[in-house]
Structure 1
Amino acid sequence: METPKYLIGRQPILNRQEQIVAYELLFRSAESKSAASMKSASQATASVIMNTLSGFGIKEILGDKQGFINVDVEILMNNAIEILPKEMIGLELVGNILFNDVVIDRCRFLKEMGFVIALDDRDYTPELEEIYRLVDIIKVDLMQTPAEKLSTVIKELKRYPAKILAEKVDTNDAFNNCAKLGFDYFQGYFFARPSLIEKKRIDGYSSAMMQLLKLILADATFTEMEKVFRNSPALTYKLLLLVNSVSVGVREKIRDVRHALTILGRQQIKRWIQLALFTTENSQDIESPLVEMATARAGFMEQIAMEHPVLSKIHSAPDQAFMVGILSLLDSIYQVSIEQIVADLNLSDEVRSALVTRQGVYGKMLELTEMMERLELGSAAIGLQELGVSLDGIIASQIKSLSSKVI
C-alpha cells in the first residue's frame, strides 16, 4: 500500500512586538479535499512524527523557530511521541481531550522530559485548574470566546504561570485589543490584511526601491541605477551591507556603488530589491512576519513553475512566478492598492494580470498558494494537480520554499 502524502501548513505565532516566535504545524492528506477528521488527524500526526525526523526535516520547516504539533489523547499516550526533539517541537493538546488523572500524569511526565505543552482553545473552566498550572501556553479562540467575556477570561487565566495566546486574530484592531488585555502571543494573519493594518505609505526610501525595481525590469544599465543611490544614503548603506554578506571571498575593496552592483549581478539585485520593498527607511532589519510569508510564497511559486509541465520549459517562468508571489503582499505594507503599485512597473501582461485580477496560470498559482496559507491544504493540492503538478512535486516545492532564502 502506498504511503499517504501530507502537505504542511505552517501558521506563525507572534509575540507582542509582532515578531515570529514559533509556528503551529498542521498536516493534511494531499489526496483529500476536506480538512482532516479527528481519526485522520491522529494518523497524520503519527506519520508526522516519523516524517519530521526523516522525510520533512525539522530545520527545513522551522529554521530557528519552535514548532507545535497537534496531539490527541491517542498520540499523547503513545511512547512514540518521545522521539521528537523536545527543544524544537512543542505539543498542542487538542480540545477534545478529557483530563483524567492518567492523562494529567502523562502530561506531567512529558513536561518533566522537557517538552513545551500548549492547551488548545476551550472555554475557561475552574475544573481544569490542575492542567492550567501544568501547561506552558493556554490558547483562547477569539471566534469561540465572546468579546465581552475576554477581559474576565484573561483575568482568570493570568492567575496561572502559563503564557496566554490569542488565536484567530484576524484584524489589527483585534491584535491591539488583545495586547491591551494582556495576551502574550498571537496567532492569525492580522499582519497581512492591507485594508485593516496601518503601515507607512511609500516613503522616500521605498520610492527609491520601486524606482530601482522599475529600472532593472527595463534592463537599465548599472550607471542608470547608480543615480538612484545618490539620493538615498540609507539605500546605499543597505547595498553595501548586502555586498559584504554575499560576496565573502572577494578580495578587492568596494570602490563605488556601481562596483557593488557589478559584484552582486542583476539577479541578486532584483531579488534584494523585491525583498527590501518590505522594509522602510527606519527599519533595522527585514525580520518580520510579512517578509517570511512573502519569501515562502514567492519561493513556493518559483518551485511550482519549475515543476509545471509547460512553464518548466520557459526560461523566465520561475522568475516571473517568484515576482508574482513577492509583489502580491506589497499592499499589506503600504496603504496603496496593488493596481497603483504595479502601474509604473514594467511587468509582463501575465504577471500584471496575476497580481491585479488573479488571471492566467500565475494568477491560478497565486490563488492556490494563498489557499495553502489559509490551511486549505487538500483543496489547494487538488488545484495544483489540475495544473499538472504532481503531489511529490508539490511536497518537494513546499520543503524548498520553507527552507530557502531569497539571497
Structure 2
Amino acid sequence: MAQIEKSNHNSDQREAGRLQVLDVIRAAGTIARIDIAKETGFSPATVTVITSQLLESGLIEEITPEPAADAKPSTRRGRPRVSLRLRGAAHLIAGIKVAHNSVSVLILDFEGSEVVSHDMPMPEPRMATPYFCETLKRAVSQACAKGGFALSDLSGIGVAMAGLVDAKRNFVYWSSSLTDRNVNLGAHLDRVLPCPVFIDNDANLVAKAEHLFGEGRKVDDFIVVTIEHGVGMGIVIGGEIYRGERGCGAEFGHTKVHLDGALCQCGQRGCLEAYVGNYALLREANIMDREMPLADIGMLFKRAEAGDAMARSIFERAGRMFAMGLANIINIFDPKLIVLAGEQLSFDYLYADAVLEAMHQSSIQVDAPLPEVRVHAWGDQMWAKGAAAYAIEKVSALTVREVPVDA
C-alpha cells in the first residue's frame, strides 16, 4: 500500500512539472530550455527530461530563431541555440458562449491561435436539456464544417453559460438557458459530443479571458462584472478563478438589494439583476407603456437619449442600484481593478459619471485611491475565447497524464 501511494505521489509530481513547463512555454510564446529552468526553478537536467517527453508526445516543437537582418555572423561553433514553442497542430479546441439569443463558437489550435469562428441563432432562449445539447452540437458541427474538419477532430470543448454552475462536476444547478434545474449537463453533452466537455459560468470565463487576453493581463487580483441579459461576476485572486465551494460563488447579480422586491429570473425576489439586467429594464418599460412594447434594450436607450422621461427614469434607477452593488464589491473585496465587460456596455448608463460618483460615495473612505474601473465592451466571440482557453487548460492536464515516463 505504501508503494502505491508513493507511486501516485510521484505521478502527480511529474504531471504538475509537465504542466508547469507547458504553462511557461505558453506564456513566453518561444523560449529556450535554460530560460524554462530559470522560470520554473527546475534543474536544467529536469527541464531536458520533461521537454523531451513533451516533444515525443507532439505537444511542443523546436524552432531555431532567425538571426536579425543586421546581425553579424557568429564566431561560435556548435549547434545554434534552439527554442521551444507549443505545437499548434497538437489539438483543436472549441469554446462556446451560450447567450440569450445566440450560440457563438470559437475554435483555437493548441497555441491559442484562432482557426474558425461561427455564430448561430438560438432556436429558443430557454430549452429542455436534450434539445439544448443537440443545439450546441449543431453549432459546433457547423463551425467545424466551416473550418474544413470533422467534429471528431476536436480534443475538447469549453462551454460558457449563465447560471449556477459547479465547474468541477460539470453540473448546472440553474441556468436561464435551461428549463430544467439540477442538471448533470456534462453527462448529457458527453452522450452527443465525441470529446471531453468542460462547463463553467460565463462570467468566470470572461474573467479568464480578461486575465489572458484583456484588461486583466499582468493583474493577479481583479473582478469582472458582466452586464447583458443578466448580471454576472468573475473573481480572480492570485491569478486563479474563485468559484466557491459549490460553484455558486461570485453571483453578484443575485445579491439582494430590495426585500421582497422585483422578481428575478432565478425565481427569487429583490436580486440586483432584477433591476439592472436587460430583461428587467424591458419588463419595467413595457409595463409602464403597454401601447408601444419594446423588443430590445437599444430601443429603450434611444428613447432615453431622445428625452423620454419614462425611459430616463428606468436607466437612472438602474444606475443607482448598480452603483450600490459596485460599492458593495469594493467594501467586501477591495480589489485592485474592476472590469465592466459585455456587449451591452456600448450603452453608458451603468458607468456614467453619476453612477461612478455614487459608487465612490457609498464606498469605505480611506486615504488611498479607490479601485480603477475599466470598461471592456466586447462581443460573444471573446466570451467564447475564454471558454476555449479554459478547455485548453483542461485538455493540457488530461494530455500530460498520457505522456509516457520514458518518452
TM-score normalised by the shorter chain: which range applies? under 0.3
- TM-score, normalized by length of structure 1? 0.26
Higher strand share: 2
Higher RCO (CA < 8 A, seq sep 6+): 1
